Chain A
């Protein structure tokens, strides 16, 4: 509600879920179970520091450094640690490589598993029932609906993150980017290309 609202003595009522969240927060704080500043700190990390820009750095490095790419595909966790990346939901990272004939896409049918250190927290659509239900069943149709029309000649591999491993897609380097720096290349890499719902 803005300060221009006429009825500023009666702010909009909180939604039921908002009320429940606040009630839980208050009770846990009163019990001393939430340190002052903890929530702001953890939220700020995922809003500002941990996101797809990290994965983009990994991808750009793999594009310019074949030895790094080999290490990334052999052991994703160790290779992202070389760039200072790691942490919750990234302890066992597997990177799968797109080629002209193979397209990879990642899903979690059971919940919302996602490689946080390289992609941050997942967008709502990744966690939504239609994506989780359909990606393992009709990926070609679903990807087309989401704007990625793959030729029939491209084999689609779907990775359901059902255990400890988290997956990231290594997209193909776009044509015509030979002269670009690693930093310029990183700016081309999108979150969706690293999930596998887009190509670059």
Chain B
């Protein structure tokens, strides 16, 4: 079962413990990480993968696999998944070459993409506008983190129009929408907690937002 209130959407989750900082960390730790970075770069250049579908393929990983594996294993799993799904490679060939099971991400669950309206020529919201994040839980890819849904914030910056990832991860169509930087007060996000930031700034596409 895949639902995109996924394991990757980590903001505010508890229980992970301290951040483990490695001194003088190398860019890559093992030769296989170099290979994976290079393969993903090459497939991106050849347009066999795009940022949005690639991210979504990572998000579709089994949650225990996601949390239990190093970062570049996410990339490897997503790349193998996309290549098998696009028919570039057969899973059987990959497993034969690897001499065993190759874990892939779970299948896409979202139905046909419903194309939202692109932004009008002018942005709907202005700096200083109060906005509320829509309380949506899509089955496909989204870049609207769970911890801001339903929350009220103030537009701090209006950016350019960018392809809406919720569409671009699933379809060849592009839906250009304005993105906004929205300032959320720490207490709006986390209630009475006293250890919050003064503010968290999150970048959100226009269709994630509504007027209060």
Which residues of A does B touch, CB under 8 Å? 15-28, 31, 33-35, 38-40, 42-43, 46-47, 51, 92, 94, 109-112, 120-121, 123-125, 127-134, 136-142, 145-146, 155-165
Contact = CB atoms under 8 A, between A and B. Distances in A.
Contacts of A47: 27-28
Contacts of A35: 42
Interface of B: 8-14, 16-22, 25, 27-32, 34-39, 41-43, 46, 48, 55, 58, 67, 69-71, 73, 76, 79-80, 83, 88-89, 93-94, 97-100, 102, 143-145, 147, 157, 159-160, 162, 179, 181, 189-190, 193, 195-205
Given A26-B97, A162-B204, 14 more contacts: A24-B94, A28-B39, A43-B37, A51-B27, A94-B157, A110-B143, A123-B21, A124-B25, A128-B16, A130-B18, A133-B14, A134-B19, A145-B19, A164-B162
B12 A137 contact: yes
A22 B35 contact: yes
B25 A23 contact: no
Contact of B19 (A26, A109, A128, A155): A128
B203 A39 contact: no
A111 B195 contact: no
Nearest to B17: A130
Contacts of A159: 200-201
A19 B55 CA distance: 23
A-B residue pairs, 8 tightest by C-beta: A39-B38, A109-B11, A163-B203, A130-B16, A23-B97, A23-B98, A21-B32, A133-B13
A20 B79 CA distance: 11
B203 A161 contact: yes
A21 B198 contact: no
A25 B89 CA distance: 12
Contact of A139 (B9, B17, B147, B197): B197
Contacts of B202: 160, 162
B27 A121 contact: yes
Given A23-B94, A139-B197, A165-B181, A132 B10 contact: yes
A125 B21 contact: yes
Contacts, number: 216
Q: Which of A24, A130, A141 has the most CB of B within 10 A?
A: A24
Nearest to B102: A20
Contact of B30 (A18, A28, A127): A18
A80 B28 CA distance: 25
Contacts of A142: 19
Contacts of B79: 24
A109 B10 CA distance: 6
B39 A25 contact: yes
A68 to B, nearest CB: 21
6 contacts: A33-B43, A51-B27, A94-B157, A109-B145, A111-B8, A163-B204
Contact of A31 (B37, B88, B98): B88
Contact of B21 (A18, A24, A109, A146): A146
Contacts of B94: 20, 23-24, 27
B8 A110 contact: yes
Contacts of A136: 11-12, 147, 189, 197, 200
B137 to A, nearest CB: 15
A147 B181 CA distance: 29
Contacts of A130: 16-20
Given A17-B32, A22-B35, A137 B43 contact: no
A125 B37 contact: no
Contact of A155 (B41, B67, B71, B198): B198
Nearest to B179: A163
B78 to A, nearest CB: 11
A130 B10 CA distance: 9
